[in-house]
């Protein structure tokens, strides 16, 4: 049953009041048509709760923008909704098409800092097998920042709206393929869903190795929040069994990792790794709380995911002027490069035909009462 404007409605009751469901909610395909976004397909969602967001079909069905009751629910980079054709894979070129957004996916075959990697498909075949079928790395090459997946358009797009009893759902699904001749052939099947009257987004992903050789696989959800979700005095809602800085720059501010400051001129990013506490099913939650928003009304956000699927959590903290953003980043890897993950035993290898599933829930915390409930949920994890 949907709760709209403070009242609960059954399907029958709601349909008596509207001529079309798009009067209150829906998912609609549009085409972006200006500047370097021109020609990109997108799907505009409105849930009726005040939450609206755009899933970019031209960019892996990533969620590039979102608002709640007119308030931005994410951080937006100055490059905007850049079309996939502008992607630059070398070095830090990924940043030229990084829109920010509430979800920018990193992977599928590599994530993290640019570096030389003798196994890179940028310099030759990704894998070689020895006579016994084991991986034998011989190619040479280098890889850029955070991978290709976010810059691959989705195919076989399906937009659906349907009633399930008294619940009204809307979704978009598609397939995103990262492939190269003689190497990587990874297929991502993605569905983005929302529900009438709710301020939540569900992302369901299945990654399959469709090649006939083992494939290395890294995957990270880059969820980016900015003003007014964060502002001076905002706090992170994170229950961490262990926390550590990535480098010396982050270590210098480690004692304040749980708070967000006012904008700082000339600051560099701070990154922290967290071993998150979970519930009995290995589910975990993290959040952001700006309790002072709107004269004490409060505003925030949360993520829910499963630690068996995403065992690592990265906190990206960037309180720069203009680049005033934080990233909450569930991942199956860390962000210092594929070579380091391989050398330290974290790197996942998918066998031919093997799949991995990932689920992510992104939600609004619409006031301090919802923030307090989420804070209690997170504090109860162990």
Each residue's pLDDT, cut to its tens digit, for the chain (382 residues) gives: 888 999 999 999 999 999 999 999 999 999 999 999 999 999 999 999 999 999 999 999 999 999 999 999 999 999 999 999 999 999 999 999 999 999 999 999 999 998 888 766 553 445 555 667 665 544 546 889 999 999 999 999 999 999 999 999 999 999 999 999 988 999 999 999 999 999 999 999 999 999 999 999 999 999 999 999 999 999 999 999 999 999 999 999 999 999 999 999 999 999 999 999 999 999 999 999 999 999 999 999 999 999 999 999 999 999 999 999 999 999 999 999 999 999 999 999 999 999 999 999 999 999 999 999 999 999 999 9
d(CA 306, CA 358): 8
Quick count: other Cβ atoms within 10 Å of Cβ 232? 13
Which pair of tokens denotes residue 248?
Answer: 């010396």
Task: Report yes or no: 374 and 365 within 8 Å, Cβ to Cβ.
Answer: yes
How many Å separate Cα 281 from the centre of its chain? 22
d(CA 172, CA 119): 35
Number of domains in the chain: 1
Residue 120: the pLDDT is 65
Task: Report yes or no: 58 and 176 within 8 Å, Cβ to Cβ.
Answer: no
d(CA 52, CA 38): 21
d(CA 45, CA 171): 9
Which pair of tokens denotes residue 194?
Answer: 């929302």
Query: Domain containing 371: what range?
Result: 2-379
Tell me the DSSP string of 113-167. S-EE-TT-TTSS-S--B-TTS-B------EE-SS-SGGGS--EEEEEEEEEETTE
Residue 117: the pLDDT is 82
Strands 348-350, 215-226: pairing kind: antiparallel
Residue 125: the pLDDT is 43
d(CA 331, CA 141): 24
Residue 115: the pLDDT is 87
Nearest Cα neighbor of 139 from 44, 213, 239 is 213
d(CA 158, CA 148): 22
C-alpha triplet 360, 365, 368: angle, nearest 5°:
150
Task: Report yes or no: 92 and 143 within 8 Å, Cβ to Cβ.
Answer: no
Q: Would you mind telling me the total number of residues written for the chain in this entry?
A: 382
Element (H, E) at 12: helix 11-15
Which pair of tokens denotes residue 20?
Answer: 């079309």
Evaluate the CA torsion angle 318, 105, 46, 80 in order and state its sign.
positive
Backbone angles phi, psi at 319, to 5 degrees: -90, 45
Residue 118: the pLDDT is 72
Where residue 64 sits, what CATH number does that domain have? 2.70.98.10
d(CA 172, CA 188): 14
Nearest Cα neighbor of 347 from 127, 133, 97, 124 is 127
């Amino acid at each position: 049953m949907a709760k709209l404007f403070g009242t609960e409605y059954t399907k029958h009751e709601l349909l008596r009041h509207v001529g079309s469901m798009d009067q209150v909610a829906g998912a609609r395909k549009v085409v972006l048509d200006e500047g370097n976004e021109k020609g990109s397909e997108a799907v505009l969602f409105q849930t009726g709760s005040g939450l609206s967001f755009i899933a970019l079909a031209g960019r892996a069905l990533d969620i590039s923008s979102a608002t709640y009751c007119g308030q931005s629910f994410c951080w937006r980079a100055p490059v905007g909704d850049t079309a996939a054709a502008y992607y630059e894979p070398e070095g830090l070129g990924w940043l030229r098409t990084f829109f920010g957004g509430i979800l920018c996916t990193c992977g599928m075959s590599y994530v993290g800092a640019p570096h030389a990697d003798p196994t890179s498909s940028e310099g030759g075949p990704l894998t070689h097998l020895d006579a016994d079928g084991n991986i034998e790395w011989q190619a040479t090459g280098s890889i850029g920042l955070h991978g290709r997946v976010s810059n691959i358009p989705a195919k076989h797009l399906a937009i659906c709206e349907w009633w399930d009893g008294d619940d009204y759902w809307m979704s978009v699904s598609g397939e995103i393929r990262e492939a190269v001749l003689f190497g990587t052939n990874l297929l991502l099947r993605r569905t983005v869903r929302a529900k009438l009257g709710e301020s939540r987004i569900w992302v369901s992903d299945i990654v399959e190795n469709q090649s006939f050789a083992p494939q290395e696989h890294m995957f990270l959800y880059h969820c980016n929040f900015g003003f007014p979700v964060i502002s001076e005095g905002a706090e992170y809602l994170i229950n961490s069994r262990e926390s550590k800085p990535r480098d010396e720059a982050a270590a210098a501010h480690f004692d304040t990792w749980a708070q967000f400051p006012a904008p700082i001129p000339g600051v560099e990013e701070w990154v922290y790794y967290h071993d998150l506490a979970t519930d009995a099913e290995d589910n975990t939650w993290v959040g952001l709380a700006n309790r002072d928003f709107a004269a004490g009304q409060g505003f925030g956000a949360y993520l829910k995911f499963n630690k068996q699927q995403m065992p690592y959590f990265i906190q990206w903290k960037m309180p720069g002027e203009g680049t005033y953003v934080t990233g909450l980043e569930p991942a199956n890897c860390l962000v210092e490069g594929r070579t380091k993950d391989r050398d330290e035993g974290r790197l996942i290898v998918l066998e031919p035909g093997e799949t991995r599933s990932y689920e992510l829930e992104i939600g609004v915390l619409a006031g301090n009462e919802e923030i307090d409930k989420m804070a209690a949920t997170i504090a109860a994890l162990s």
